[in-house]
Structure 1
């Protein structure tokens, strides 16, 4: 059974990150979720994904150090990645030998993708909510392409579930050999909790199946 939310801080090279952990005494899997650039861990799609986890899947929602410090402007990618790695190391210490799924929304999905291909051991899956294929337009109208970040996860053979709004102005990832893509009604904010949960729940169930008997 769920024992409630345990909030704690993890020291990283760029200040403390904050983790909201929901776990039970029968944990057989861990879902780790990061937030968007200017948002937090209470985003609707993150809560929907957390709600899709079964009773034996722990959920850790990670607030990056710059948000803990009260800043809205995102830190550089290298700092986000280093802080994420520090949190993952602490969660691995707390949940040894427990398979993990890494993910997040928007910027957090990018961090999870970049981290997945260098993590040891790698996650058993990556959940990419509102993954932004295209950067905001530059002054000259051109837009940076983030596709290589999510494609690298597919190239590594790690299963990906990408859930995007059908009107997302930053684009929707295409399907790939190891990538399932689900579009729901909405834009980049992804507020449709029901459809998100319906997409995430069976996918998590395939990666982190409930064991036949009790876990000590």
Structure 2
């Protein structure tokens, strides 16, 4: 089901993937360089409703309007705040989520909006090649349980660059590593789009299963 929501900065679009007996609502927004067609977002929309999670894919107003360049962070936050009432109408706990820039929005607004948790796909820890410009404070400042799903070869921040010690094979039976108030699941060899190279020991399908399995386990742990 597609729902149109008017916000203070324009029209947003929500695409609902409903679970029959939902325990949570997961809102997932896109990054600054793509839309809700991203491979990880679509995989989660397919899988999570089978596990009691209604998934809502959120298209920010700038994307709905057809613009190619994302606005400033404060404008992205305003768009996210504008769609939040539509997410809480079911009376279920809402997990705020997104990929890349969308993950940053979810972290920045989680406590303010009363999110149950945050799912950060490909969190951009720093601009490529500029580790000194860290955004770790946004991540650690979410104030709620947070899961980061990160490619092992992400130029915006490899798993070992995140605070705390992290070692994980990223295998489907590995829940990730708890560190600094958040957990991290690594997708071995994957880039910022969670794509794996042809030489990778994992196929693209297997890599996405690492993502979905990790998220399912984490959601179950939320109760």
- 1: CA distance between counterparts of 2:15 and 2:118? 19
Q: Which residue of 2 aligns with 1:184?
A: 187
Deviation at 1:49, TM superposition (A): 2.5
1:195 aligns with 2:191: no
- 1: CA distance between counterparts of 2:186 and 2:23? 29
Q: Which residue of 1 aligns with 2:119?
A: 127
1:10 aligns with 2:5: yes
- 2: CA distance between counterparts of 1:50 and 1:203? 16
Aligned length: 193
**Structure 1 length as normaliser, TM-score?**
0.83
Instruction: With a CA cutoff of 8 Å and minimum separation of 6, indicate the structure with the bigger relative contact order.
Output: 1
Deviation at 1:106, TM superposition (A): 0.3
- 2: CA distance between counterparts of 1:24 and 1:143? 42
Contact 2:18 2:49 in 1 (8 A): no
Deviation at 1:90, TM superposition (A): 1.8
1:152 aligns with 2:141: yes
Unaligned 5+ residue runs, structure 1?
1-5, 210-216
Deviation at 1:117, TM superposition (A): 2.4
Deviation at 1:29, TM superposition (A): 1.1
- 2: CA distance between counterparts of 1:16 and 1:7? 13
Describe the superposition over 1:60-82 as per-residue Cα deviations: whole angstroms up to 9, x where unpaired.
01001111011111111111101
Matches within 5 A, 1:3-82: 6-55=1-50, 56-82=52-78
**Structure 2 length as normaliser, TM-score?**
0.81
Stretch moving more, 143-152 or 76-85: 143-152
Describe the superposition over 1:94-138 as per-residue Cα deviations: whole angstroms up to 9, x where unpaired.
x12x1111111100100100110211xx2221111100010246x
Unaligned 5+ residue runs, structure 2?
165-178, 196-206
1:164 to 150, 158, 170: 150
Q: Which residue of 2 aligns with 1:111?
A: 105
- 1: CA distance between counterparts of 2:97 and 2:109? 10
Contact 1:113 1:149 in 2 (8 A): yes
